[in-house]
Amino acid sequence: MGAQELRTERLRLTPPVPNDAAGVFAILGDARTVEHNPSDRLADETAATALVDRWVHHWAEHGFGYRCVREHGSDRIIGYAGVKRMTMDGRPVLNLVYRFVPDVWGRGLATEAAAALVASALEEKPGQTVVARVRPDNRPSQHVALKAGLRRDVALDCEGEDGLDWVFTSSDEE
Ligand SMILES: CC(C)(COP(=O)(O)OP(=O)(O)OC[C@H]1O[C@@H](n2cnc3c(N)ncnc32)[C@H](O)[C@@H]1OP(=O)(O)O)[C@@H](O)C(=O)NCCC(=O)NCCS
């Protein structure tokens, strides 16, 4: 999870910089990407600048965080994905997120990014638990969580910003 670029077969995942705000707004200003999580929608680029600033601060404080995703050979930000610190049931966990622009959906890119992030998080922080919180009707995201190596744990389901979240976890503990 170090500050360096993470590479997969098709993707580059880089720590955010302030200049990435326009690309992040292209994702989070689009109603389709926040259909299941409307509270994440950004109204304008100013809001994206503030959000990216928080991501940069998380990196500065913890040495890991969300990353902007680009395809090799392209500067266009097509998504963001990564883990941030969170407390769940009083225990520290790494909360995994992934969100991509609609024109790249269905190519397996989110799975490729999420699998690499889960693997690197568990390698660099052995013993940590990675979780993904997904709305019950967000089937594509549930598929991504499972294909990234997480398993559904009904016991962890919780209320999120937009209602009930199903929880997927890397932990083997029942
Ligand atoms: C969820 C998201 C990241 C998936 O991105 P993606 O690159 O298309 O994902 P992948 O191609 O790796 O895999 C998508 C999986 O969902 C499946 N899927 C796609 N559309 C689906 C649908 N309407 N119903 C059920 N499954 C669907 C795909 O078939 C695939 O699973 P499979 O390979 O097992 O069949 C993308 O749709 C997105 O950014 N959505 C908006 C943001 C979001 O909801 N993020 C998650 C918040 S918890």
Asked whether the beta carbons of 2 and 64 are under 8 A apart, the reply is: yes
Q: Per-residue confidence at 174, pLDDT binned at 50, 70, 90?
A: low
Structure confidence by residue, pLDDT tens digits, 49-71: 999 999 999 999 999 999 999 99
What is the Cα–Cα distance from 98 to 54, expressed in whole angstroms? 17
DSSP element (H, E) containing 110: helix 109-124
**Domains of the chain, earliest start first:** 6-169 (3.40.630.30)
pLDDT, average across residues 100-111: 98
CA 10 to ligand 1 center in whole angstroms? 17
* Binding-site residues, ligand 1, Cβ < 6 A: 33, 36-37, 98-100, 105-111, 134, 138-141, 143-144, 147
Q: Per-residue confidence at 3, pLDDT binned at 50, 70, 90?
A: low
**What pLDDT was estimated at residue 89?**
87
Beta strand segments in 33-162, E = 66-71, 79-88, 91-100, 130-134, 151-152, 158-160
- Give yes or no for residue 2 having a pLDDT over 60: no
**What pLDDT was estimated at residue 173?**
78
Structure confidence by residue, pLDDT tens digits, 136-153: 999 999 999 999 999 999
CA 104 to ligand 1 center in whole angstroms? 10
Percent of the chain with pLDDT over 70: 98
**What pLDDT was estimated at residue 156?**
94
Q: If DSSP codes are grouped into helix, strand and coil, which group holds residue 125?
A: coil
Structure confidence by residue, pLDDT tens digits, 163-173: 999 999 999 87
Q: Tell me which residue has its CA closest to atom 26 in ligand 1.
A: 140
